Amino acid sequence: MAEQTFGRRTAAIWAAAVFIGIAFAVTGVVAWMYGERVRQLESSTAVVAGQARTHLSAWIDARLAIVETLAIRWPDAYAAEPAAFRRDAERLLERLPGLLAVNWVDAGGTIRRVVPEEANPGVLGSDLYAHPEPDVARALAEAAQTGDATRTRTLELLQGGAGFAIYWPVHGPEGALAGFVNGVVRARELIDTSRLAAELGSDYRLELRDVDGAVTWSNAADAASPWPLVSERRVAIPGGLDLQLSLAPTPLAIARATAKPQFAVLLVSGWLLGALLGWLIWRRVLDQERIRGSERRLREMLNLLPHPVYVKDAGGRFTFVNHALAQACGLAPDDLIGATAAALPGPAAERDEFAAADARVISGGEPVPAGQEWFTDAAGARRLVEITRVPFRDPLRGQRGVIGIGVDVTARHEAEALGARIASALDQAGEAITLLDIEGRIVFANPAFIDMMDFRGRDVRGLTMAAFAVPGSNDDELITSIASTLKRGEPWRERYRSTWSDGVDRVRDATVTAVRDESGRLTGYVGVLRDVTREQQLEDELRQSQKLEAVGQLAGGIAHDFNNLLTVILGYASTLRETVPADSPAAAAAGEIEQASERAASLTAKLLTFSRRRTAEAASADLNAAVRNLAPMVERIIGENISVEVALDEAVGTVSGDAGEFEQIILNLCVNARDAQKDGGELKLWTALRDADTAPADVRPPLGPGSYGVLGVTDCGVGMSAALQERVFEPFFTTKQAGAGTGLGLSMVYGIAEQRGGGVHVESAPGQGTTFTVWLPVTEPAVAEAALQTAAVTPAAAGGGTILVAEDEAGIRELMTHTLQRAGYHVVSATDGVDAMRCAAGLDRVDLLVTDVVMPRMGGLELRDRLARCVPGLPVLFVSGYAPMESGAENLQAGDELLAKPFRPGALLKKVAELLH
């Protein structure tokens, strides 16, 4: 194989040598013959150039010498007779054509005589020192300074055309400068009159240039430069600046002289002969050379690849390594040629596995699918490379080997791992996340989005942005808002509410933002949704609580002031009834006043319950017993067209609250149920024992842990919308006609449940009836207190003790003072805490302090604390219309008692007796 390759190369060399030899021989002969012709033409051109220079110099010298005679004769012949200068100049121009003008210039540079004047309009009187060509002024100044003739360089003449001027200085008898004789030569007339162009122009290119290279005249100005076979001669000009004459044969003249077509035919014939012989030999090795060329191009292409490529022979030695692999190894490609895998960087185990994989492909002769392998580069960085190995046979040598092509997939591997982590994070995110393309179609949605939008079991990919709208809801404005905001290039953020098919309103915070790549190009959108229904409910409950608090403060304040009035009315009515005969009209009137006061006190108690400012005394009662007792009354109240079903859970026992509160709850709920069923229906009054964990999420207020007795009232009436359910417990809110309800019933139910540590819940939908449930914590049975004794307490013995009374309401203060004095106590009254401190300072002893909780200047608690410093262990009886948290009345100490307004005189005397005895 090597000899065959050598023979092919030898044949190719001989073929090239035959062609080159014949071509060189023919070319040499033709070149010598052509050179001889060119040298002959060059010699003849030089002879013609010399003759042309001589002719032109003689022509110019003859004319300028005559002009110089005018300058010589001036002081003698023309100074006295200037007209003689004109006559001589005109004769000179007639006899010696070729001069454009002869002028007389005064010493200041102004043209005073112009010959011929009619051929040079506008020249007379021109200031040559102001000539647009600065070289004119230079030549004048130089002639004046040196006293010799001076020529200008080639310039644009005032008469038009290119030429030059010569100035001969003229001096007077005493040597002073008198002026200049100026000869103006235009190159065109000079050449035309000399007939140099006419005689040589058909065969030669002529050009006259100045010393600075400016072209004075040329018959081949558009010809390419430089001219072939050019011959140059200097043409001497008076005035110190010579001209350069260039003369060269025209291309046509060269072609005629050298006979190029004949030489070309001879040259081409010789080359064709050499080419024919060379081709006959060359075609034998064309295929081999083509293969080698393909191999070179393949190597060049492989070196341009950014991926590592190598070729190994059967011995596992590298026969080719591209630049990418060599660079990764930190070596030059030539350093790896002939080496094995041992020359690679990295651990030995890694290199051995690499070599073994190549050996398996070489021995098996089958390609191996791409596999990923770790490769440690020269910098010590571990790269994951996907390598494809293919068996290879050298087409020239026939040797077996392997080609390996690797692709660095480290970045892709890391990106895939990162993408997997991101996808996992998105799948596990609590917020609903979706990706959309630039057309607004979903390309990805995490499980939270699918669950939130109720798309379980559906493929959401390809859905439009309308997926943000709830099916069946009217969210067209929502989609329009999203589209218009994104079109402006702004992110869309909004909290919106949708009504689902089950009638439940759900509130969500949504954000849709544009996604752009590194170049800022829009690639899609990302949407994030978060269900904030519970948060919205809490916010609504907070606002509801704030409204209840505001109205409650108003109601509580009214009830407090009204209780003060009722205390006076009830106290004096009780006193009046005790002081008159029992069968007298006055006693009957006093009894009626007491009953009316009791009813008014019940109303204020309701107001205090509603305002959450009633001092709730610990109480417990059997809930089922209360329902049984009230069931007959409920049947009478709701009418005959509504059937009543009572279902009691016997597991329900004692709960927090008293029978009166249960009565208010049951009656208010049942009356509302009756009003919701105008055309009749069914009402179910039921109880159940439940744990707080089973309570609905929207029980108001939230429940604490523990067991609860649940009182429920269910009707099949008109039901309520979600908006109405949000407001049913607001004070003074009612859906009934004017005069048909106060709007306080459900608010009182809410207040009782809240004060007892429970909560309320409403479940309803339009046309599907309503269920109200009241959750009250289960308690142990309590021992019932003895009924309040309304009869007068037996007065204590006179001098039974000194009592200090502090009350800012005058009527109550006088009532308490009068009642206690009748009972035999020594009473000192004060209008507030400050007045009480002043009164106490004048007393020898104080056995009991009776004080209001809230008073101007100083309240009852502060008064108690100050008196305790002077009278340790002093018992205190607080009286209050309500017990607001800010008053501190809940902070009673040992020896303190609380009496709620309104109270009867007997209740006051009972409390006082308990504290003093």
Tell me what pLDDT residue 502 has: 59
In sequence order, what DSSP letters do the residues of 738-773 get, joined into one string?
TTS--S-HHHHHHHHHHHTT-EEEEEE-TTS-EEEE
Contacting residues for 747 by C-beta, under 8 A, at least 6 apart: 548, 610, 729, 730, 731, 732
Peptide bond into 491 cis (omega under 30): no
In the β-sheet with 368-376, what is the strand arrangement from edge to edge?
318-321, 309-313, 400-408, 382-393, 368-376
Tell me what pLDDT residue 445 has: 83
Tell me what pLDDT residue 546 has: 64
Q: Which residues pair with 526 in a beta bridge?
A: 435, 513
Instruction: Measure the CA–CA gap between 399 and 629, rounded to whole angstroms.
Output: 111
Tell me the mean pLDDT per 10 residues along the chain, length 917: 53 70 74 76 80 81 79 70 79 79 87 82 83 87 87 82 88 82 84 78 82 81 76 81 84 73 68 70 62 67 75 81 79 80 81 82 77 78 82 71 80 74 73 82 82 75 74 68 80 78 72 84 84 74 64 65 73 75 74 70 60 58 88 83 91 86 86 86 92 89 91 90 77 54 68 88 90 91 41 42 90 87 91 90 90 88 88 88 51 77 84 87
The phi-psi region of residue 354 (left if phi > 0; otherwise alpha if psi is between -120 and 50; otherwise beta) is alpha
Structure tokens at 312: 């190994």
Instruction: Measure the CA–CA gap between 815 and 901, rounded to whole angstroms.
Output: 13
Tell me what pLDDT residue 805 has: 92
Instruction: Measure the CA–CA gap between 532 and 801, rounded to whole angstroms.
Output: 65
Question: Which pLDDT tens digit goes with each residue over 203-228?
Answer: 888 888 888 888 888 887 676 778 88
- What type of residue sits at position 322? N
Contacting residues for 559 by C-beta, under 8 A, at least 6 apart: 604, 607, 608, 611, 613, 881, 882
Instruction: Measure the CA–CA gap between 210 and 542, rounded to whole angstroms.
Output: 106
Instruction: Measure the CA–CA gap between 48 and 37, rounded to whole angstroms.
Output: 17
What is the helix (H) or strand (E) element at residue 50, kind and residue range? Answer: helix 2-73
Termini Cα distance of the chain = 138
CA 38 to chain centre: 79
Q: Quick one: three-class SS letters along 692-746?
A: HHHCCCCCECCCCCCEEEEEEEEECCCCCCHHHHHHCCCCCCCCCCCCCCCCCHH
Tell me what pLDDT residue 286 has: 58
What is the helix (H) or strand (E) element at residue 604, kind and residue range? Answer: helix 585-610
CB atoms near residue 245 (< 10 Å): 23
